[in-house]
Structure formats: structure tokens, C-alpha cells
Structure 1
Amino acid sequence: MRETLTTALDLMFGHEGGYVNNPKDPGGATKYGITHRTLAAHRGVASVTPAQVKALTKEEAAKIYRRSYWVQSGGDLLPVGIDFMAFDYGVNSGPAQAIKSLQRIVGVTADGIVGAQTVAAVKAYKGDLIGAYAAERLRFMKTLKTWPVFGRGWQKRVISVEAQSRQLIRGFQVNTDVNTSSAKANPKDQSLMETFKKPEAWASIGGLLSGLGGMASGSGPIQWALAIIMVGAFATGVYFLIKRMQDQAA
């Protein structure tokens, strides 16, 4: 096994979270990115329970990744950087799909198997293969019916994997401790109603109502002008509040 496998596994565990069982995820019960079906196949049984998936250790998950994903994704054959991209892609979408996407980019038969022809084409590719591979992975993901649910998390992950792959190519030390967005993440956008539940929003509304109440006791163009200015300031404040809440939720 190539030495970079250790780093690749550390990066993988950084991307994949702990136990999840999202009803919207066709993969079902999953831990460390290992689905219940993959775990059952690895153990040679018909099925496993969610509790058994939850009890999966990182050591067993690493064995599954080595045996069922790293080799099939060309981990020991492809150039450093591309090997990690294919490995990560393969974990999400299957090694065959990951390799087919790569083969289409480099112009060889898309059979999903890493052979001498594929390796030679990858090494001879002229251009930014890292960027092209990341773009092709996103293109494929956008065709999936679960993109509206998981798309935002997937996109963040692909961007992170692209950056980490470039670091691997340059021989930089890659930070493997940061838990990046999982492909199964489903970040929730902040709606207006959710924003107005925040104390900051109520403070702004209270200030507006207090000011308008004070001006209501008077009349004339000056009072109306002040009221318009206050409403405009309030609207601007709410806009930036919503933007800040959305950034925090991302």
C-alpha cells in the first residue's frame, strides 16, 4: 500500500462524520461513511442493524476503506493527489463511477477499471486535471435526485477535497484534524421566520416600534421623513442580520 494511504484515510475521516441515519439518504444507517450494506458485505452477512452500524469502530472502517475502496479507486496506481480525489469520490459514488468520470476527462474507454492505459492517460494529461476532475464530480452529483437535499454539503466537500489534493501534490502538510463538511450534510438555510426568532432581530424590531411610536405623537413632514429614514435603516439592519445568520449556518 502506498504511504499516502494513511493521510488519505485521515482526510476521509475528517470529511465523514459519525453515525447518521437520515431518512432522506438512500444509503440508510451510516457511520464514518460506511453504509449498512457495505458493512454487511464486509462482514459476510445478509444485513446489519442500525445499532451494529453505530457500534462500528474506526479501525474496522479503515479496513473496509483499504480493501473495498482504495485499491478499486486506483489508489496505488494513480498519481498523488488524483489518487485521493478518486478515493474520496469512490466512497461517495462508488469506485467504478469515480474512475469512469476520470477516464472521460483523460479520453480513454470509461470502463471503471484502472489499468495501464488509464494511468498513462492521466500522467500525460495536459492541463489542470485536479480542477477538471472536481468539476466533473460536481456535474455528476447535480444529476442525482438527492442533490436538492445534500447538494450544498457535497459541493463544500468537493471544494475541500480539491484543495487538499493540490496540497498533497505540492508535498505540503495537510491538516487532517479539521472536520470538514460531510457529503451527507444538509445545512439548513436561515429563513425569515427563523431569523426573527433571534434576540438580535427582536431588539431591532423593538427599537423600530419605539421610535415610530414616539413620532406618531407628532405630525408634519419632518416626522414623516424621520419615519421613512428609520424604516429604511431597519430594513438594512435586517438584511445584514439575515446574511450573518446564513453565514453562521453554512
Structure 2
Amino acid sequence: MRETLTTALDLMFGHEGGYVNNPKDPGGATKYGITHRTLAAHRGVSSVSPAQVKALSKEEATEIYRRSYWVQSGGDLLPVGIDFMAFDYGVNSGPAQGVKSLQRVVGVTVDGIVGGQTVAAVKSYKGDLIAAYAAERLRFMKSLKTWATFGRGWQKRVMNVETQARKLLQGVIVVADTPVAPAKANPRDQSITETLKKPEAWASAGGLLSGLGGMASGTGPIQWALAIIMVGAFATGAYFLIKRMQDQAA
């Protein structure tokens, strides 16, 4: 909730370190957890240089957090503790991804937007929502291709966030951790295998099987040519479908 924001910002600067530009990090040049793409969007320009990212002030980073992450993650609407968890998740993986994971846990429509239905489901959740949300975040992170490289740091971050969320819920004063500058856990880095587990990835397969089944009843070069064309079209369509689904996950 809104009263959590000041503490949440302090904790965020504890989770996110200073300037980094790790070639293995999909976020690229980053400072205080703000990537070069996010900084460029905030300033209304097409791009910024690594030097401009390095010169980012803490004041501007705070404003970006307020406008582009806290509100979009439902910070003003969610209960204390969960608001911070959604905020931290949003900074690391994008607000929509953080909200979608929360919506999966509480069993409402997964659209990445915190509305009345999501808030009501969060408040009426039966069980340890903090633990369930942390577990779902870890499950998502383990599905990323970059888990092998950054998984240890991500796991530590999720554990810290869970602990801090419980302290916030109890009204305990929370002290920020030492900055660790972990890599971004980008939804676009999900493996094709994980993407194919989603039902919508197979929506077009029915048409392909139906068409091939019909062709199997006939023989000759025309039927075979049509079958080859259909398989090629399916493969092309599947490729762009997977790419679109990975982009929408962000």
C-alpha cells in the first residue's frame, strides 16, 4: 500500500547495486536496477549510452521506480508485504510478469493488470500467500535460459524479499541489504520448451493435423506438395507465435 512505498524504495536500492554492464545480463547497461531501455523510455528518447546510464542519479531512479514500477505493480492497491513483493518482482522482471505470477497464485484472470478482482482475490486468499508468491516467482525464474548463470543470485534475492515482506507485514523496521546488482530475469528469456508448455502454443496444431489427415487419404504429387507447403507454413507460423508469446510475457 502507499505507506509502504518509502520503505520499499529503500529496500529496492538495497537489492539493486550501482552501475553494471554484464554481457550475459539481458538487461544490458543498468544502474540502480534501471536498464538503458527503461531510462530511454522515461526520458522520451530512442536510446541512451552506457555513459548516460552510469550518470543516472538516485533521484531520477526513484522517480522512475515510482512512476513505472510501483503503480503498475499495484503498489497502491495490494496489502502490505505483497505490495513490496510485486514491486520487487516488477523491477526485476517487468511489472506485468510480477502481476501475472500473483494472479496465477490467487486464481484469477492472468492479464498482468491489478484490478478489483485481483485485489479481492489477494485479500481473501486462504493460506500463506507470501510463501506461495515467492515459490511461483522462483518457478518462473527457473524456466529462464539464464538461470544457470544468475540463478544463485536470483534465489537469494527472492528469499530476502520473502523475509522482508513478512517483516513489513508485522510492522517491523526493515533494513536494506547490501546491494548485489543481480541480473534481470527477463520473461523473453524463457526457453522454447517452457513456452510450448502453454496451451495457446498448440492452438494451431489442430489445423495442421486435420489438414494432414485429409491429405493422407489421397496419393500423388499434388497431395504431397500440399502437405509440404502446409508443414512449412505451420513451422513458420509456430516460430512467430512463440516469439510473440515470449514478447507478451514481458
In structure 2, what is the Cα distance between the partners aligned to 1:72 and 1:78? Answer: 11
Match of 1:183 in 2: 182
Deviation at 1:84, TM superposition (A): 0.2
In structure 1, what is the Cα distance between the partners aligned to 2:183 and 2:140? Answer: 16
In structure 1, what is the Cα distance between the partners aligned to 2:86 and 2:127? Answer: 18
In structure 2, what is the Cα distance between the partners aligned to 1:44 and 1:168? Answer: 35
Match of 1:193 in 2: none
Q: After TM superposition, which residue ranges in structure 1, 4 or more long, deviate above 2 angstroms?
A: 180-185
In structure 2, what is the Cα distance between the partners aligned to 1:105 and 1:175? Answer: 28
The CA RMSD measured in Å over matched residues stands at: 1.2
In structure 2, what is the Cα distance between the partners aligned to 1:182 and 1:173? Answer: 23
Q: Is the contact made by 2:167 and 2:174 (CA closer than 8 Å) also made in structure 1?
A: yes
Match of 1:21 in 2: 21
In structure 2, what is the Cα distance between the partners aligned to 1:68 and 1:144? Answer: 24
Match for 1:25: what amino acid? D
Per-residue CA deviations over 1:23-57 (Å, capped at 9, x if unaligned) read 00111000000000000000000100000000000
Q: Is the contact made by 1:154 and 1:182 (CA closer than 8 Å) also made in structure 2?
A: no
Deviation at 1:2, TM superposition (A): 1.2
Aligned pairs for 1:77-156 (under 5 A) are: 77-156=77-156
Figure out how many residues of one structure are paired with residues of the other and give that number.
184
Deviation at 1:180, TM superposition (A): 4.9
In structure 1, what is the Cα distance between the partners aligned to 2:48 and 2:179? Answer: 28
Match of 1:199 in 2: none
In structure 2, what is the Cα distance between the partners aligned to 1:180 and 1:157? Answer: 10
Higher RCO (CA-CA < 8 Å; seq separation 6+)? 2
Match for 1:55: what amino acid? A
Which protein is bigger by CA-based radius of gyration?
1
SS in 2 for 1:175: coil
Match of 1:71 in 2: 71
In structure 1, what is the Cα distance between the partners aligned to 2:126 and 2:180? Answer: 31
Q: Is the contact made by 2:73 and 2:114 (CA closer than 8 Å) also made in structure 1?
A: yes
Deviation at 1:184, TM superposition (A): 2.4
In structure 1, what is the Cα distance between the partners aligned to 2:152 and 2:96? Answer: 24
In structure 2, what is the Cα distance between the partners aligned to 1:43 and 1:180? Answer: 25
SS in 1 for 2:2: coil
Match for 1:165: what amino acid? A
Identity %: 82
Per-residue CA deviations over 1:148-204 (Å, capped at 9, x if unaligned) read 11110000000000000000000001012x31544329xxxxxxxxxxxxxxxxxxx
Unaligned runs of 5+ in 2: 185-250
In structure 2, what is the Cα distance between the partners aligned to 1:15 and 1:164? Answer: 11
Match of 1:47 in 2: 47
Q: TM-score, normalised by structure 1?
A: 0.72
